[in-house]
């Protein structure tokens, strides 16, 4: 076991300040919901180290802390959810990571990382690093539909121990005004060690993977979202208003800095 993957958060107060959650008081459900929301609205989903700036991805706690907290970067699931579960544990939550299989329409390996918290006799699934479709709150293991921040999610138990995260989606086009049930992902509520995600991280950081070939950033905001699709289209949604702006190659790094606060920096921790 590599101890660098199990270090404590170097400075929890700095982490809480990074995500705008300095008023954390106790490891209860109310604070958990706030932590999830604050993390999602503060730390973007992005893989720019692979697609644009060509830095290696390390899952050590020190590296992730330096990148996400000190340099105010984002990350993909193995990074942001990996650091988030460490924060939850250090704050006193009974939290662990789970392997997830995204619903992409075709059968794919379990290449997503989520988090489960056991709290007051109940279990909750949460995800702070899924580009689109992630629940903006910790979802209780229940088929009861749960709504927060104007979004509705629930969890259904499937065959052989699989759990399925579902969401209610507002249809567009000819079906505008109606709602449909969508499957976001499947997961098994089994505690995995941090080391268990190293092989998936290696697969996702391969030169041929989409994270290496496509420049994308997704950031939830309090009023909607701001996304950079394929490095060419900036999509901003605020309430019911959605705008698209084409981005020229020479404008890319300026947009990353001025819109998302992201810039190229190296990290010393392995």
Catalytic residue IDs: 77, 112, 127
Asked if 188 contacts 16 with a C-beta cutoff of 8 angstroms, the reply is: no
Question: The tokens of 260 are what?
Answer: 């998302």
Q: In what order do the strands lie in the sheet with 122-126?
A: 139-140, 122-126, 112-119, 94-102, 179-187, 163-170, 151-157, 146-148
Asked if 12 contacts 91 with a C-beta cutoff of 8 angstroms, the reply is: yes
Q: What are the φ and ψ backbone dihedral angles of 268, each rounded to 5 degrees?
A: -80, -25
Question: The tokens of 210 are what?
Answer: 């989409």
Question: The tokens of 47 are what?
Answer: 């893989």
Angle at 153 between CA 196 and CA 244, to 5 degrees: 90
């Amino acid at each position: 076991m590599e101890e660098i993957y199990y270090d404590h958060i170097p400075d929890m107060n700095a982490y809480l300040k990074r995500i705008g959650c300095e008023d954390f008081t106790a490891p209860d459900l109310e604070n958990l919901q706030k932590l999830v929301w604050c993390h999602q609205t503060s730390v973007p989903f992005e893989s720019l180290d692979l697609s644009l700036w060509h830095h290696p991805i390390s899952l050590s706690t020190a590296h992730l802390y330096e990148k996400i907290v000190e340099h105010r970067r984002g990350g993909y699931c193995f990074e942001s959810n990996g650091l988030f579960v460490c924060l939850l544990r250090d704050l006193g939550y009974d939290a662990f990571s789970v392997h997830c299989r995204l619903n992409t329409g075709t059968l794919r390996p379990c290449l997503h990382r989520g988090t489960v918290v056991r709290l007051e006799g109940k279990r909750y699934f949460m995800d702070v690093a899924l580009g689109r479709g992630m629940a903006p709150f910790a979802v209780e293991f229940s088929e009861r539909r749960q709504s927060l921040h104007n979004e509705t999610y629930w969890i259904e138990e499937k065959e052989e121990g699989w759990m399925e995260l579902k969401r209610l989606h507002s249809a567009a086009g000819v079906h505008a005004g109606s709602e449909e049930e969508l499957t976001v992902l499947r997961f098994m509520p089994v505690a995995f060690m941090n080391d268990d995600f190293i092989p998936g991280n290696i697969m996702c950081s391969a030169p041929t993977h989409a994270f290496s070939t496509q420049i994308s950033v997704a950031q939830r905001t309090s009023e909607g979202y701001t996304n950079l699709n394929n490095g060419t289209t900036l999509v901003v949604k605020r309430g019911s208003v959605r705008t698209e702006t084409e981005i020229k190659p020479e404008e890319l790094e300026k947009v990353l800095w001025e819109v998302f606060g992201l810039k190229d920096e190296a990290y010393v921790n392995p």
